[in-house]
Structure 1
């Protein structure tokens, strides 16, 4: 539903598009750092990357709060306020999830992360990239929704891949890992990674709802 009948004719604030784009760039940067961090196994390097990811997460919080502040001050918005709020909030949740993964790796300091963990981090990175591409379409998707719809499908497909990687990993973990403490640490890290890929896919669901409502 449009903001009001008059919103069809009144000028709309375009500032939300670059603000959402910037938030997605913060997401992509944090996902890149997470992938890099998986190449290091020392406590010092893990702590260093967690600090860098934490700093990026704080930037994401600032950008999200700025979007919320603008929603409160802007009379006419390009979409319903709830849609912009949900989109920004969920992208920020993905950034928070990446931070949570890095935090757990630093605190638990497990054995070297398995190839499955690295694969999940790269799938999450792919989701972040597609979210960034989707933000580029927000200003024009009403007339040409195909590209945005395609990015939503990519997010859905990647999340399914992440589910498969996680399920196979957990099965092998319980079969092969004999150290119970290590098992718990690794499983929780992998679970947080998989949950964050789910959150990224929720961004796609919000975008699909935008297509239904506005395209």
Structure 2
């Protein structure tokens, strides 16, 4: 899926260089496509780390970050559906951006709690490093998803 995302991102960027009229500024489209690609890259990076590191099972509180990323992805998808109509009715897109921000704040709390407990409870240093790195990558992915929301908010300010 990550490679498919890369192909779509490159296609979008190639189309920008040949399309005369775009629905909004080329720079905004480029930034949005690149930022969405960062979310996909983060998910892929986490999956690869899990495969390579083969850590012990991560606790339920750790898995919560994955669920939050999945929720963010759903809101990003809904937000993309609003791009054709947000100029007439920006409220739904604004709401999705707000949800992305809220989820990222929640993810920060989950991450901080998990890391605190990890350092208190994990005695195997190698496992600690493996799990910490995976969790950090997940947290960075939630940040990337929130960044998509920030770019969309800028579109609302610019065009609605």
Aligned counterpart, 1:90 = 35
For residues 115 and 82 of structure 1, the distance between their equivalents in structure 2, rounded to whole angstroms, comes to: 40
- Match status 1:129 vs 2:74: yes
- Match status 1:57 vs 2:2: yes
The structure whose RCO (Cα within 8 Å, separation 6+) is larger is 2
Gaps of 5+ in 2: none
The CA deviation at 1:117 is: 2.4
For residues 72 and 92 of structure 1, the distance between their equivalents in structure 2, rounded to whole angstroms, comes to: 19
Gaps of 5+ in 1: 1-55
Aligned counterpart, 1:112 = 57
Q: Which whole-Å deviations, capped at 9, do the CAs of 1:138-163 have from their partners, x for residues lacking one? A: 00100100000000000000000000
The CA deviation at 1:116 is: 2.0
Aligned counterpart, 1:139 = 84
For residues 117 and 171 of structure 1, the distance between their equivalents in structure 2, rounded to whole angstroms, comes to: 11
Aligned counterpart, 1:74 = 19
The CA deviation at 1:114 is: 1.6
Task: Map 1:175-194 onto structure 2 (within 5 A).
Answer: 175-194=120-139
Report the RMSD for the aligned CA atoms in angstroms: 0.5
Structure 1 stretches of 4+ moved >3 Å: none
Aligned counterpart, 2:155 = 210
Q: Which whole-Å deviations, capped at 9, do the CAs of 1:117-170 have from their partners, x for residues lacking one? A: 211000000000000000010001001000000000000000000000000001
Q: In terms of Rg, which structure is larger?
A: 1
Give the one of 103, 116, 120 matched to 1:171. 116
Q: How many residues align?
A: 160
